A = this chain, B = another copy of it.
Amino acid sequence: MSDPETRAKKLDAEDELGAKRAEFVLDDRDDAVYLDGNSLGALPVGVPGRVEDVVRRQWGELRIRSWTESGWWTAPERIGDRIAPLVGAAPGQIVVGDSTSVNVFKALVAAVRMAGDGRDEILVDATTFPTDGYIAESAARLTGSTLRPVAPDEVPAALSGRTAAVLLNHVDYRTGRLHDLPGLTAAVRAAGAVSVWDLCHSAGALPVGLDEHGVDLAVGCTYKYLNGGPGSPAYLYVRAGLHDRFDSPLPGWNSHAEPFGMRSEYEPGTGAVRGRVGTPDILSMLALEAALEVWDGVRVEAVRAKSLALTDFFLECVREYVPEGRVESLTPVAHEERGSQVALRCADAGEVMERLIERGVVGDFRHPDVLRFGFTPLYMGFTDVQRAARVLAEVLEG
């Protein structure tokens, strides 16, 4: 087998997504590798110009008229429909707005209400990104339910006639483990409970298949693999068949059947609009819309294939360069269990990450001992991967 550098060049030459890299603003320093796109995606080149137009012309010149003339009012559903094919959803089921945490709250309370009487338990992924757990606790408290943390693979055994809702992560934020969305969703459905999936670490990195697998509700952020920018608005998916039963705990005026009727009685709108709350955050929302244009012509299957090739190659380079025993991968070896990141357990991980960043190799540190590297198929190449692994080895030896 040839050396990693040669293999990287060959893989880059064969990369069907290679041309996409030019659609992002990336460091031009040769030794810089951005492996934190699973935390904050890189800037797509089309975004600054669009944002400038939104600020100077739409806001500055048209002002209030832009709510209709620049399509501000309909942006949450329009951008939702742009995200839909990336997560396997037909149009009309996704609305963009608010943070992921707020959307988890909407989804969970609505899920408990849908589940109906006699179901008073919420199951939550015990290894979840903390905010989902905190919000689930609040949703349980406010709906008079019990919250029960369960490891994802123990969910089927934990389901019962008491289960109202199950909140799961598609990909674990720490280890990068990909959970079995089709199987777990089917189990939840079979138990008569409502499934809620958090797609923060999967959407834009691998196929999700929301419609195909019969997911009930889902949420996700847009600033990781979707490159929407810092704190860009999250989204909420409600399966079309559940729209009429979606009873939001945050029924703001934007979700009203007649928002400008200014009626004192609340009457929910029809469809995805029920997931709206207050006035949408236009600057961030339209920056996201511009960012989503990089997905034109991209097949999610090609993204997934490249993502797996990138993480495989990274693990291969780590094995080749890093002394055995110095790091331990927490990321599953099996493709069907792997997301688009690699988590390496390592002594002094915090300090190691600081030194990597000084060298231009940017990942992140997750307490207490994890080096986390994200692989973003739209703008990373195999040479980046090889270089990152080599710098990691140098830092670990130094």
Contacts and interface: CB of A to CB of B under 8 A. Distances in A.
Interface of A: 25, 27, 34, 36, 39-40, 42-43, 47-48, 51-52, 55-56, 58-61, 63-67, 72, 98-102, 105, 109, 126, 128-131, 133-135, 137-138, 142-143, 149, 174, 221, 223, 229-234, 248-254, 256, 260-264, 266, 277-285, 287, 357, 362, 364, 366-367
A294 to B, nearest CB: 14
Nearest to A370: B262
A250 B283 contact: no
A274 to B, nearest CB: 12
Contacts of A253: 101, 129-131, 134
Contact of A251 (B56, B60, B135): B135
The complex is assembled from copies of this chain, and their number is 2
B51 A55 contact: yes
A262 B231 contact: no
Contacts of A252: 99, 101-102, 131, 134-135
A357 B282 CA distance: 23
Nearest to A25: B60
B99 A262 contact: no
B256 A55 contact: no
A219 B252 CA distance: 15
Given A99-B278, A142-B142, A72 B251 contact: no
B231 A279 contact: yes
A250 B142 contact: no
Contacts of A223: 279
A335 B357 CA distance: 59
B142 A230 contact: no
A92 B333 CA distance: 48
Contacts of A40: 59, 63-64, 67
A55 B48 CA distance: 6
A213 to B, nearest CB: 26
Given A63-B40, A135-B252, A130 B262 contact: yes
B230 A72 contact: yes
A30 to B, nearest CB: 16
Contacts of A231: 72, 279-283, 285
